[in-house]
Amino acid sequence: MTEPAILFDVDRTAKRLNEISERSGKIVRIELSRPERANALNSETLELILDAIEKAEVEPGVEAIVLHGAGQHFCAGADLRELHSGGPAGIRRLLDLFRRVTIRIERSHLVVIAAVHGAARAGGLEISLACDVVLAGKSATFGDAHLSKGLLPGGGSTVRLPRAIGWQRSKWMILSAEAIDAETAKQWGLVFDVVDDVDLLQAAKDQALRMTRGDTEAMGRVKKLISMVGEQFFSDGLEAEIATLETHSQSESFQNGVGSFLTRNKRG
């Protein structure tokens, strides 16, 4: 396949945050950088992702993250060598770390876009499910794949996949271990949009900018509410919305946003 275009044009002002991430303007790009292993996620990579998110969240003016993979694929899942060699304790360490990454993505006050090309398998699918929006290149394919290797899901697909595409389709994906193409993923609700591979990273940048509005405080609060949907009863979720808005009403973003709206209407 043709590799995606680089997200940012050559930018002499780009700021590197760590080995796999850099900032350009409002956006931090995080690149899964083990192309020789199809970007399989080991402990080192997961720690770098966490570190990149933490650094992005404290960078003044940053509003979004774009997550993508180097080379021919997005991500093949967890590093099976590490998973296999550590025994039960090693599995627990790696998957606890993976869980920290996905929850951090879901509850970050930054918009997180996954730009997927090539294969997204097992943990690659699971990390994309935690992102706010998934854009896919036409080469992208998505599969759970755990059962094809004698594994079970450990990164959240049994929890997040049914929420994304429903019970029947999620059970088919998990139990069959088969993959679907990008257009099918879009039809099923796993992907927001499909673009040519060469346009993928620019499309992710454009989508991130459309979703940001300079109010990361409000963004973080509403993302946390959405992420809690499956963790509470319906009535608790309704109460959480009101309680969160009560707190948010004292914030500068609320006062400025609502005040500006009322002022415009009054003038009209």
d(CA 104, CA 29): 16
- H/E stretch holding 131 reads none
Q: Could you tell me which residue, 13 or 212, shows the higher pLDDT?
A: 212
Distance of alpha carbon 138 from alpha carbon 219, whole angstroms: 30
Note the pLDDT of residue 6.
Answer: 40
Percent of the chain with pLDDT over 90: 63
Looking at the predicted structure, is the pLDDT value of residue 180 above 60?
yes
Q: Where are the alpha helices (DSSP H) in the chain?
A: 43-58, 80-85, 87-107, 123-130, 157-165, 167-176, 182-188, 200-211, 216-227, 234-248, 252-267
Region 52-64 average pLDDT: 96
Under 8 Å between Cβ of 190 and 165: yes
Instruction: To the nearest 10°, report the CA torsion of 68, 80, 99, 207.
Output: 10
Task: Yes or no: say if 64 and 211 are a contact pair by the CB < 8 Å rule.
Answer: yes
The answer, yes or no, to whether residue 155 has pLDDT greater than 70, is yes
Q: What's the half-sphere exposure (Cβ side, CA atoms, 13 Å) at 234?
A: 0
Residue 141 bridge partners (DSSP): 119, 181
Per-residue pLDDT at 268:
57
Q: What is the pTM of this model?
A: 0.85
* Mean of pLDDT values over 233-239: 65
